Amino acid sequence: MKIGIDLGGTKIEVMAITESGEEVFRKRVPTPQHDYQATLRAIKGLVDDAEKAVGKTCSVGLGIPGTLSPVSGLVKNANSVWLNGQPLDKDLGQLLNREVRIANDANCLAVSEAVDGSGAGKHMVFGVIIGTGCGGGIAIDGHVHAGGNGVAGEWGHNPLPWQSETDTKHAEDIPCYCGKPGCLEVFISGTGFWKDFELTTNQTLRGPEIIQMAEKGDADAEACIQRYEDRLARALASVVNVIDPDVIVLGGGMSNVERLYTNVPKRMAKWVLGGECATPVVKAKYGDSSGVRGAAWLW
């Protein structure tokens, strides 16, 4: 029996699965924001609840919105900033009296989908989270590829490639929280999508509302989605040009926009070296559960 924990900025979720991947327990609690010790206690409480429910001591894997530095052993790059600089694996290991494996949440998504999801059987899976933020992760033969610096796959904080004047203006108006200019996150996250609509129309709406407007024929909403599709295609084409994965799996809120799976692959070929691209772009089989399942599969 395996336990996975998905530690997000607003919620912490636990899932217990069998060796065959069957879900047997799941629970969510609010994340104690800006309180590291309370976060540790919340995770322990979820593990205790899961093990009580299944009647066994389980392995524990944890997905986080950052990564463990292979140099310092401390959390870095987490947008849940109270985790940064903390020896999270060691502290949880002491609290739970066992080894805890930790990986970036996008890497967990990639592992989940590589093991028994939309990328099952593929050698290299590139997993994408396009939700509140923008993340990426790599799984090779069903295992996390974290890289020597622990940041493999984190293409969300690289610049959007082949920028137009419209793109440059967008980046100037919406700076990234990381402090660097023009990051993919400000363009192709769900947040970037609705902020683009806000910038061009002076209307503040969220993604699902904009999608509904486009479906009803609203020209501004349709133009916004087309800009998004073009930007996402350029971003994913840059991944193909570097690592050429066997499949790209999308997760996060924007992954629920079904037209992306038809329109984005058609646009990618223009930007891939050689002018052709057969890389499948598919929706995560397990949706919002991919991260927590992938954390369990770290064992």
pLDDT average, residue stretch 268-277: 96
What is the predicted pLDDT for the residue at 80?
86
pLDDT score of 9: 80
Find out whether 128 and 251 touch, Cβ atoms under 8 Å. Answer: yes
Instruction: Using the predicted structure, report yes or no on whether residue 269 has a pLDDT greater than 90.
Output: yes
What does the alpha-carbon distance between residue 9 and residue 29 come to, in Å, rounded to a whole number?
11
- Return the structure tokens found at 245: 């994965």
Domains 2-109+289-296 and 118-283 share a fold: yes
pLDDT in tens, 79-123: 788 999 999 999 999 999 999 999 999 999 999 999 999 999 999
Edge-to-edge strand order for the sheet containing 143-144?
143-144, 134-140, 124-130, 247-251, 281-283
**Res 91: pLDDT:** 98
Q: Is the pTM of this model over 0.85?
A: yes
Q: Is the CB of residue 71 less than 8 Å from the CB of residue 16? A: no
Instruction: Supply the CATH classification number for the domain 2-109+289-296.
Output: 3.30.420.40
Give the model's pLDDT for residue 262: 97
Question: Looking at residue 95, what is its pLDDT?
Answer: 97
- pLDDT band per the 50, 70, 90 thresholds, residue 133: confident
pLDDT of residue 207: 93
CA 86/CA 284 separation, integer angstroms: 31
The CA angle 264-286-101, to the nearest 5 degrees, is: 110
Across the range 210-239, mean pLDDT stands at 97
How far CA 53 is from CA of 14, 47, 248, 266, in Å, comes to: 12, 10, 35, 47
Side-by-side strand order, sheet with 2-7: 23-30, 11-17, 2-7, 59-64, 100-104
What pLDDT score does 177 carry?
81
**Structural domain boundaries of the chain?**
2-109+289-296, 118-283
Please spell the DSSP secondary structure of 54-105, one letter per residue: HTS--EEEEEESSEE-TTTSSEES-SSGGGTT--HHHHHHHHHTS-EEEEEH
Q: Please give the backbone phi and psi of residue 13, each rounded to the nearest 5 degrees, phi first.
A: -120, 140
CB atoms within 10 A of CB 204: 10
Phi-psi region of 161 (alpha: psi -120 to 50; beta: other; left: phi over 0): beta
Closest CA to 140 of 150, 127, 129, 130: 127
- As its CATH architecture, domain 118-283 has 2-Layer Sandwich (3.30)
Q: Are strands 124-130 and 247-251 parallel, antiparallel or unpaired?
A: parallel
* Residue ranges in the chain assigned as alpha helix (H): 36-54, 88-96, 105-116, 165-173, 185-188, 190-201, 207-215, 219-243, 260-268, 290-296
pLDDT of 178 > 90? The answer is no
Q: Rounded to an integer, what distance in angstroms lies between the CA atom of residue 262 and that of residue 183? A: 25
pLDDT at 224 over 90: yes
